[in-house]
Amino acid sequence: MSDTDWESIKPGWHELVIKLGENDTTFSQRREIVDWIITNIQKPDRHCVYTWVYDEIWLFKIKFRYERDYILARLRW
């Protein structure tokens, strides 16, 4: 997925980018973030989209429909 594709998905939603790093622990970090989303966001399949990309380091990108979910994730991550 290119950056332009990501930008066109759910424009106006609140975006959070989490830097994961370059090492082998990024898989477990991504899994932890996805588990957190499933546990803490109401109806995550409707109110949240996410992806991860490698751009010199691993980035986990999340878009939230509601600002309250964005703030909750921002405080956690």
User: Is this prediction's pTM over 0.85?
Assistant: yes
Strands of the 14-21 sheet, one edge to the other: 14-21, 58-64, 48-54
Rounded CA separation 33/31 (Å): 5
Question: pLDDT (tens digit, 9 = 90+) per residue, 17-69?
Answer: 999 877 767 888 999 999 999 999 999 999 999 999 887 888 999 999 999 99
- What is residue 31's DSSP assignment? H
